[in-house]
Chain A
Amino acid sequence: MADLLRTGLYDLHLRLGAKMVPFAGYEMPVQYPMGVLKEHLHTRAAAGLFDVSHMGQVILRAASGRAVDAALALEALVPVDLAGLAEGRQRYAMFTNAAGGILDDLMVANRGDHLFVVVNAACKGADIAHLRAHLALEVAEITDRALLALQGPAAEAALARLVPGVVAMRFMDVAVFGWGGAELWVSRSGYTGEDGFEVSVPDAQAVAFAEALLAMPEVAPIGLGARDSLRLEAGLCLYGHDIDTTTSPVEASLSWAIQKARRAGGVRAGGFPGAARILRELAEGPTRRRVGLLPEGRAPMREGVEIYAASEGGAPIGVISSGGFGPSINAPMAMACLPAGLAEGTTVYGDVRGKRLPARIAPLPFQPTTFKR
């Protein structure tokens, strides 16, 4: 796997018996000897440790030294109320383009004198260039820190053995703690639908920190395979699949991430790329939207499967953007962008190997979330 980057935990992954695959320019663990299914179930039952160091970590600073000024500047690129984001809190956002599509999705945290942003690995180069091209902010990519996610019902108890202060955090809080001489940047968030944390740790202490967690009986290493089935059960989007430059946030059923302040009549309405389309879709409704699909029977409907309104004839009404088997719901599951008029409970048909199989439009998430609000 020449030319692929490695995270600081690469050797640890090999020691743990990981199967490594290329992902977004990195050599990453897709699974460990436990296997995708058991890793998934372990995360929902106890705690899973994920290496997400391939993701981009970026600090944005305004000349004033105030996070709110960086937030106001960043609002020019996202349809999200960031000026209203309190210190010590984090929010989900997306970079939009002039056509109202999505360039990437990201997490933004207010850390008092700056914003801390986490972006997708595959997009991070373009995102940083985008930030630098459009904002009069200091844009500093953090390249000397690993990013680990600890997810699941036992995540709090496990992490608290190393960092007792995390028990006071609520969902989407961010805080800084010391551990073994390292400064940990902790957020109570994740990509599994479970309670859990993401922890930015200096490269020098990253392996020791991961090993300290993995030494605990409830913590197991989890690869990208289970990360994908966990996020899909939780109804979360994967950039480049469920959302891309052609889907607007409204079509993607992400309107909840667009707060009142940025909507028509809000105190800072519009003022982001693609505002005309996005505000119109908020007012009038989109023509299509991302929905959950529960196939009847056991056959998974995977990405690329065409969806039809009827069991015979007609043109496709959409395509599955993510699909697979949900180990916790013990059933196949999928997401697709479909005509907005179709109500929950409607049966549509996926073309699987030339046969149209029924699937029901279902609410998301498939698996109830367990965030500690």
Chain B
Amino acid sequence: MKYTEDHEWLRIEGDLVVVGITEHAAEALGDVVFVELPEPGTQVARGDEVCVIESVKAASDILAPVDGEIVAVNEALGDTPGLVNEDPLGKAWFFKMKLADLTVLDGFMDEAAYKDLIG
């Protein structure tokens, strides 16, 4: 598992990357009540706003961690946005991306580095 400075986790699954948010991020957001997902097939560039998460407190964006194509989204979050709080590292994955080159993931933090970041 790799981590971004935007509190997203990235998990390699075959030739795809699965993206979600960390427990730390879910805790900070508070109870999530709405998730807007991108369309599968969308080409995105690193830093693009690809999802909107609304909690009881505020709206936040999920940014594309790398360049690539969104190939699948987790439709369950539309009906059950609370999964983001219940199981942020598991059932609450947001989308899967296809990358031209998986080695770009080497530049992201590992778990130890991420834990240092959040203190």
**Is B10 located at the chain interface by the 8 A CB criterion?**
no
**Is B31 located at the chain interface by the 8 A CB criterion?**
yes
Stretch of B11-19, B53-61, B107-115 at the chain-chain interface: B53-61
Q: How distant is A321 from chain B, measured CB to nearest CB, in Å? A: 17
Most chain-A CB neighbours within 10 Å: which of B33, B34, B36, B85? B33
Which residues from B are CB-within-8-Å of A225?
A: 30, 56-57
Contact A36 B30 (CB under 8 A): yes
Contact B54 A300 (CB under 8 A): yes
With contacts A35-B31, A298-B34, A332-B34 taken as known, whether A327 is within 8 angstroms of B56 at the C-beta atoms is: yes
Residues 83-116 of chain B, each 1 if its beta carbon lies under 8 Å from chain A, else 0: 0010000000000000000000000000000000
Residues 100-128 of chain A, each 1 if its beta carbon lies under 8 Å from chain B, else 0: 00000000000000000000000000000
> Can you name the residue of chain A whose Cβ is closest to the Cβ of B52?
A353
Contact B54 A36 (CB under 8 A): no
Majority SS at the chain A contact face: mixed
**Is A131 located at the chain interface by the 8 A CB criterion?**
no
Which residues from A are CB-within-8-Å of B85?
A: 35
With contacts A36-B30, A37-B31 taken as known, whether A299 is within 8 angstroms of B54 at the C-beta atoms is: yes
Contact of B34 among A35, A38, A299 (CB under 8 A): A299
Q: How distant is A106 from chain B, measured CB to nearest CB, in Å? A: 28
Contact B57 A36 (CB under 8 A): yes
Contact B30 A325 (CB under 8 A): no
Residues 53-71 of chain B, each 1 if its beta carbon lies under 8 Å from chain A, else 0: 0101111000000000000
C-alpha spacing A298/B78, complex, angstroms: 8
**Is B81 located at the chain interface by the 8 A CB criterion?**
yes
Contact B56 A325 (CB under 8 A): yes
Contact B34 A325 (CB under 8 A): yes
Contact of B31 among A36, A300, A302, A332 (CB under 8 A): A36
Contact A298 B33 (CB under 8 A): yes
> Can you name the residue of chain A whose Cβ is closest to the Cβ of B28?
A19
**Is A90 located at the chain interface by the 8 A CB criterion?**
no
Which residues from B are CB-within-8-Å of A38?
A: 31
Which residues from B are CB-within-8-Å of A298?
A: 33-34, 78, 81
Which residues from A are CB-within-8-Å of B58?
A: 302
Contact A35 B30 (CB under 8 A): yes
Q: How distant is A329 from chain B, measured CB to nearest CB, in Å? A: 12
C-alpha spacing A229/B54, complex, angstroms: 14
Which residues from A are CB-within-8-Å of B78?
A: 298
C-alpha spacing A167/B52, complex, angstroms: 47
Contact B81 A37 (CB under 8 A): no
Residues 225-248 of chain A, each 1 if its beta carbon lies under 8 Å from chain B, else 0: 100010000000000000000000
C-alpha spacing A353/B52, complex, angstroms: 10
> Can you name the residue of chain B whose Cβ is closest to the Cβ of A325?
B33
C-alpha spacing A37/B58, complex, angstroms: 13
With contacts A298-B34, A298-B81 taken as known, whether A325 is within 8 angstroms of B52 at the C-beta atoms is: no
C-alpha spacing A31/B56, complex, angstroms: 11
Q: How distant is B84 from chain A, measured CB to nearest CB, in Å? A: 12
Which residues from B are CB-within-8-Å of A31?
A: 30
Which residues from A are CB-within-8-Å of B30?
A: 31, 35-37, 225
Q: How distant is B52 from chain A, measured CB to nearest CB, in Å? A: 7
Residues 15-43 of chain B, each 1 if its beta carbon lies under 8 Å from chain A, else 0: 00000000000000011011010000000
**Is A324 located at the chain interface by the 8 A CB criterion?**
yes
Question: B residues engaging A (CB < 8 A)?
Answer: 30-31, 33-34, 36, 52, 54, 56-59, 78, 81, 85
Closest 10 CB pairs of A and B: A37-B31, A325-B33, A36-B56, A298-B34, A300-B54, A299-B34, A35-B31, A37-B56, A325-B56, A36-B30
Sampled A-B contacts (6; CB under 8 Å): A31-B30, A36-B30, A38-B31, A225-B56, A300-B54, A327-B31
Given contact pairs A40-B56, A324-B56, A353-B52, a sample of 4 additional A-B residue pairs in the complex whose CB atoms are under 8 Å apart = A37-B56, A229-B56, A298-B81, A302-B58
